[in-house]
Amino acid sequence: MNKDTEIDMKEVELNELDPEKQPMTGDGQAPGGEKNGSVKLKVPDDEVAFTGLSKEELMKVAGTPGWVRTRWVLLVLFWLGWIGMLAGAIVIIVQAPRCKAIPEMNWWNEGPLYQITDLEAFSEGLKGVEEKLDDINQLKVKSLVIGPLHTVQANQMTGLNLQEIGAGLGKAEDLDSLLKAAHKKGISVVLDLTPNYKGNPVWFDDKDRKEIMEDVKTAAEFWLNKGLDGIKISDLGIASTSPDWAKLRMAVQGNGTDDTKKRALMGVVNDISAENLSQLVNDSGVDLILSDLLSRNTEGKERIRVLETLHSEQRKIGWGLGAAQKDHLSKRATTWGLIRLYQLLLFTLPGTPVFTYGDEIGLQANQMSNKTNQTKEAPKMVWNVEKEETDGAKSNHTEYAEIRKWFRSLSDLRGKERSLLHGDYYSLYSSATALSFLRVWDQSERYITAVNWRDGLEELKLNLEPTEGVELPETAKVKLSTDQEFEVDSTVNLKDLKLKAGQALLLQFPYTG
């Protein structure tokens, strides 16, 4: 074989080589077109993929002693873990402090009671009251007391008509419209049916009392059928001794069922001791009593004694400063600071706070008497104090607006905090011009009210002394303050609590178990 033949044979062998074994071309590609570094793997066609064990094989393995023991161990561990978690949950539930049952609360306990004693001075009659419902609703008021509305001449039974709305106050249709609008906003409406409200005595003479009680009962049924939510009467001590008192109670309280809204019978008393008031609550069977105890007892020690006597009846006690006499708060709280102080006190007392229209702004009462009948003229209500000045109150406009904001903050807080709404009461301190008490409910935030209505500039230290079983922390947080000396959310040392004249604080501290 010559040399040329050998070269031809080598070229044939190279051409028959697999592409992977052929030498690369100048551009880095094999003759077949693959790039440098490419590798082709050929999987034999007869190679079998793994498909796991068959059912028969699994059954054989599952029955072996090793797997049986493993399954039992895992099953026992699962149930032991489950039982352990269940036992742990039971222990937590048993050892955790139980929540205290919420006491029965009625609509007259849920928010402040707002008296509109003179509809013309408030807003020119029943139509005006309806127009002002949005303003009233902003105060978190849950119930209105309107009137009296009926026609009567002072001390004259012959002119008494308990089922007729007096001239100038509106028509029956206006009352219907007011009730519908108020109920839509969640506000209940109570009617004052005090018979001789323009004269004295309010139940006329003794010889007329039986007849008057029958008239009041009939009128109560008439107005309740119109949609009123309750009836209020004055001089409860006299009315409740009438032989027909039970009939009036039945007319007001006995017409509802468990599925209907409760109707309230409210009474007002004056010049009565705390002990006698407590007895009257039980004897009369009324739903709420308003008294003049705070107005009459002006010293801190007297007021604390009153609170200690009545706090267990808090769902049937209404607190006001002048409200029992239909006076305004400003008559007794003669400075803007004292108005704030007494608003704070009333909103945190164990019971329902009661205000006369205008108390939310500190409306200045007109102390001038009408020379004709010697009755005090009702002050005209001032509106839009937070929006613009009005001609009748330019000098007081700023204070009216600030006090209204203060009132709203107190009303809002009371509605949210269980300790203030229906919490237990504990006295902490009292002196001639100051007092302090604690409100507590279960695991809710605790609140301390501390007020000093003293005149002058002298500072007073309140030595808080909790009753047995009640513990106070070393410090508490300022929730509300009547002035800027105590900043909101700042901390106060309870062992060195000092208040200047006219100052009031609402302090807060948490439940700690």
> pLDDT tens digits for 330-344?
999 999 999 999 999
Domain 426-509, CATH class in plain words: mainly beta
Residues of the chain with CATH 2.60.40.1180: 426-509
Residues of the chain with CATH 3.20.20.80: 113-366+379-416
How do residues 47-64 score in pLDDT, each as one tens digit?
Answer: 556 667 777 777 777 778
pLDDT reading at 20 higher than 50: no
Residue 228's Cβ-side half-sphere holds a number of Cα atoms within 13 Å equal to 27
DSSP 380: P
Q: How confident is the model at residue 369 (pLDDT cuts 50, 70, 90)?
A: very low
Residues 127 and 120: their CA atoms lie apart, in Å, by: 10
Superfamily of domain 113-366+379-416: Glycosidases (3.20.20.80)
How do residues 272-299 score in pLDDT, each as one tens digit?
Answer: 999 999 999 999 999 999 999 999 999 9
Say what the pTM is.
0.81
Residue 143 is predicted with a pLDDT of 96
Residues 462 and 60: their CA atoms lie apart, in Å, by: 86
Exposed e or buried b per residue across 47-86, where buried means at least 16 C-beta atoms within 10 angstroms of its C-beta? eeeeeeeeeeeeeeeeeeeeeeeeeeeeeeeeeeeeeeee
